[in-house]
Amino acid sequence: MSVPESRRQLSVPVATVEVVDDSLDAAFIHARGLTKRFGEFTAVDGIDVDVARGEAFGFLGPNGAGKSSTMRMIGCVSPPTEGTLRILGMDPGADGPAIRARLGVVPQQDTLDTELSVRENLLIYGRYFGMSRAAVRAKTDELLDFVQLTDRAKDKVEPLSGGMKRRLTIARSLINDPDILLLDEPTTGLDPQARHSLWDRLFRLKQRGVTLVLTTHYMDEAEQLCDRLVVMDKGRFAAEGSPRELIATYSTREVLELRFGPDEDNNVYADKVEGLVDRVEVLPDRLLLYTDDGDGTTAAVYQRGLLPVSTLVRRSTLEDVFLRLTGRTLVD
Amino acid sequence: MQPDTTAVLRQRHVPGSLDRVGASFGFWAFQYRRTWRGTVVSSVLTPVLFLAAMGIGLGTLVDDGGRLDGAYLLFLAPGLLAATAMQTAGFESMYPVMGAIKWVRTYHAMLATPLGVSDILLGHLLWVVFRVTSSAAIYLAVIALFGAVASPMALLALPAATLCGMAYAAPIFAFSSGYEKPSGFAALERFVIVPMFLFSGTFFPVSQLPDVLQPVAYATPLWHGVELCRALVAGTQTLADALLHIGYLSLWIVAGVTAAMFFFRRRLESTG
Amino acid sequence: MTTTLRPGSGSETLLARIVPLPGTSARRASLMVERNALVYRRSWVIIVSGFFEPFFYLLSIGIGLGALVGTVSLDGRMIEYTAFVAPALLASSAMNGAVYDSTFNIFFKLKYAKTYDAILSTPMSPGDVAAGEITWALIRGLIYSTTFLAVMLALGLVGSPWAVLVLPAAVLIGFGFAAVGMAATTYMPGWQDFEFVQLCILPMFLFATTFYPLATYPSALQAVVVCTPLYHAVELIRSLTTGLVDGTVVIHIGYLVVMGLIGLRVAGRRLEKLLLT
């Protein structure tokens, strides 16, 4: 099977393609019953995924939810234990190299070549894709500029800051003009400024029509970048939708956070606010009241004679969706 | 009732100088508990293998040649004792020292305690003394098992080997703390340690070297260590010769420690 | 089966035809060599300095100690001790270089730098990586062998036209040891296991007829020595430089070829298992 042919198939309108199952070709990524087991442990438990061209798709879940295992299967570096998987219309088992030629991968931990300089990292990586030296050089200059590392081009990788290394990894993943960009927790461990700078770069890519698939356990990241996401827990999908849909379905408009003293038993207060709202979550350090009118609920709490140390009314987030679906918090 | 704060301050124990050096030594000893098994295996096997192959196997050819006075094994064994002391000292004084300054930053952690720069340096050197002495002791025992010891004076070859080792450890400490890149170690190993191992009278008498190179060999600390060990193991050491060798090796130690102290202060005190 | 990135862009090597590593192409494997050359372009001093160790041994044991030995008897002929030791040092330096490259270097990239994880998310396959790394080790070994052979020629230690075959023989030795070293590395959980590598290398270096003829040993020990791979490597090179070539050369070559092919096969499979899970 040759690459140019499949590219052509994908670029023609779906209606004219002589393929029976059109969902298979319409989707850049298509998985049914995708399963990954390591011995007794099931990391990914029969998930169905379809990611369309140009979409920004996210896996949201805590550590150990099976996100990275899923990403490695999509990246064709981990054979599925069960289920079907088609990437760009091809089978990872048979066409691994051809698929990987069209993917860009940003792994969870930086795998930059520490023995090479910033620029050489991009040069040699492009060569792995079979690009000519001249083509790689031109692309390298363009990408260094894109991730604002031109003035560090000759430096070794080691002394770069965490944010710079991450940006370099992203530049590296773009060297082959990928059709799909896979980002495994792209901003974990970065300071807020570096995260925003990275999100800015990713947003530009999204606008250019690059298909983004990312995992994250940060709800703000998912909200910023994803058109559609799945909430993943224990190898399965707990819910699916756009960030707004998920919040509308599984949470309320606003959340009231109540903090009592450090030695107080929050369960006691949970009983005392009963009836004020439909849903109350008890966390070790605070109480969450799900409501459509935060200020009104706050007033009601005081009317009951309760005196919290602090109150906070905020918008519902994906964190709340996750708490609702799994009973656990995303970041522990 | 206000407690007397100065009394409280005075109550705090401030470790004395010996305690501080001991604490620095203790750190390395504690770390060694994880790796000692591997080093014991190689400290025993290396001398056994070398003495069997070179001393006995190759020794057969040398003895047949008849151009060396006495058996080759007796010539080689004490030479290897001194050379191994040099290699152990070199090994312990390169990466561990650079690592403690640069990567693991052990020395910096120690500086945050009552330990001072000189306590850190002396404690670590003391640890190298222990490592060199213990591996030389094993070597000496193996030599005895090979029947290559001629006199009870051989027991003195142990401190002699330690002295020889430290004549390398101290300057290498200075190198490791003064030079900032690990690439220097490969060069030090290849162009200093290995040539000395091969040409300082360990395997053949220095008189075999071309005339111009002989003074170079005599200037190496290893040659003095080898001569000292060889005469002690054979039981032929004279006091005058011994004092000359000991004096020369001590000179290297004093110079090395002085230089190391300078670089330790520069690296640890200025950059924090 | 050879999977290629673009039609006609990958060619099957002879090696690939003998040992079918899944999805290996010579062109992609050569990119691994390109990467290593890029790394060492800056630190070429390290490569150059690697030549000096066997050279120093030649001067010390071969010439310095050799003067005390005189001549040794080999296959009934008396030859200078220096000419006896020199080919053995060439063979053992080919072994040392290959083992160092395929154990320490590969372990670092495999476990710490995660270099291969990044490479495998491109069209490169584990077979490409294994073949590329071994090829690099061979190129590096070839540089050392060539310079050492030149030194031997200059010192008049080459006594036969058979010596033209020393370089291919040294590459074969490098291949055998690099492949086995790489396979062994894939089984190593931590740095402390390199003590074990040392424990294999040092006795071979000392006992595999490097410094004295096989006849020096009692016959029981001779049988053990003959089983070691370095023995075959040393004897192969020695017979070429001394001109004492006979039928046993075929055994030496066969031993090293089989060892290399088994190592390569195991290394490719293990890398695939380790990296693609």
- Choice among A31-35, A309-313, C151-155, C196-200 with the minimum mean pLDDT: C196-200
**Residue in A with minimal Cα distance to C123:** A97
Number of domains in chain C: 1
User: With 80 as the cut, is the pLDDT of residue C193 above it?
Assistant: no
Chain C residues touching B61 at Cβ < 8 A: 69, 72, 81, 212, 216
- Supply the mean pLDDT for chain C: 86
* Predicted local confidence at residue C18, as pLDDT: 46
Q: What is the pLDDT of residues C203-243, one digit of tens each?
A: 999 999 999 999 999 999 999 999 999 999 999 999 999 99
Residue C5 in any domain: the answer is no
State yes or no: chains A and C have 3 or more CB pairs below 8 A. yes
Where do the structural domains in chain B lie, given as residue ranges? 17-269
Q: What percentage of chain A's residues is helix, strand, coil (to nearest 5)?
A: 40, 25, 35
The CATH homologous superfamily for domain A3-247 is P-loop containing nucleotide triphosphate hydrolases (3.40.50.300)
Cα distance from B257 to chain C (closest Cα, Å)?
A: 29
- Which of B49, B68, B198 lies at the smallest CB-CB distance from C203? B49
Q: Which of the 8 DSSP states describes residue A90?
A: B
**Positions of CATH 3.30.70 in chain A:** 252-315
Query: What single letter denotes the amino acid at residue A232?
Result: M
Q: Say whether residue B36 is in contact with chain C using an 8 A CB cutoff.
A: no
Q: Which of A295, A275, A273, A299 has the alpha carbon at shortest distance from A286?
A: A273
Q: Which of B153, B158, B170 has the alpha carbon at shortest distance from B81?
A: B158
Domain that holds residue C162: 17-275
- Which of C43, C45, C61 lies at the smallest CB-CB distance from B203? C61
What is the complex's ipTM, to 2 decimals? 0.88
Give the span between the Cα atoms of A223 and A242, in whole angstroms. 9
- Supply the mean pLDDT for chain A: 86
Residue C105 in any domain: the answer is yes
- Which of C5, C114, C275 lies at the smallest CB-CB distance from A97? C5
Residue B6: pLDDT band by 50, 70, 90 thresholds?
Answer: low
- Which of C68, C206, C212 lies at the smallest CB-CB distance from B49? C206
Kindly determine whether residue A115 and residue C113, on different chains, have CB atoms separated by under 8 Å: yes
User: With 70 as the cut, is the pLDDT of residue B272 above it?
Assistant: no
Q: Say whether residue A107 is in contact with chain C using an 8 A CB cutoff.
A: yes
CB B136 within 8 A of CB B162: yes
Chain A residues touching C21 at Cβ < 8 A: none
Within 8 A by CB and 6+ apart from A256, the residues are A277, A288, A289, A291, A294, A297, A298, A301, A311, A312, A313
| pLDDT mean over A183-202 | 87
**Positions of CATH 3.40.50.300 in chain A:** 3-247
**What count of CB pairs under 8 Å joins A to C?**
85
Kindly determine whether residue C38 and residue A124, on different chains, have CB atoms separated by under 8 Å: yes
In Å, what is the CA distance from C187 to each residue of A65, A174, C63, C76, C229?
29, 34, 40, 44, 20
Interface residue ranges in chain C relative to chain A, Cβ cutoff 8 Å: 3-7, 9, 23, 27-28, 31, 34-35, 38-39, 113-115, 117-125, 275-277
Cα distance from B84 to chain C (closest Cα, Å)?
A: 15
Task: Determine which of C51, C68, C230 to mutate to test the interface with B (most B C-beta atoms within 10 Å).
Answer: C68
Class of domain A252-315: alpha beta
* Predicted local confidence at residue B271, as pLDDT: 52
Which range, B180-184, C92-96, C111-115, is most confident? Answer: C92-96
**Higher pLDDT pick, C198 / C190:** C198
User: With 50 as the cut, is the pLDDT of residue C198 above it?
Assistant: yes
Cα distance from C3 to chain A (closest Cα, Å)?
A: 7
* Residues in a beta bridge with A32: A84
Q: Say whether residue B54 is in contact with chain C using an 8 A CB cutoff.
A: yes
* Predicted local confidence at residue C22, as pLDDT: 56
| pLDDT mean over C55-64 | 93
Kindly determine whether residue A97 and residue C23, on different chains, have CB atoms separated by under 8 Å: yes
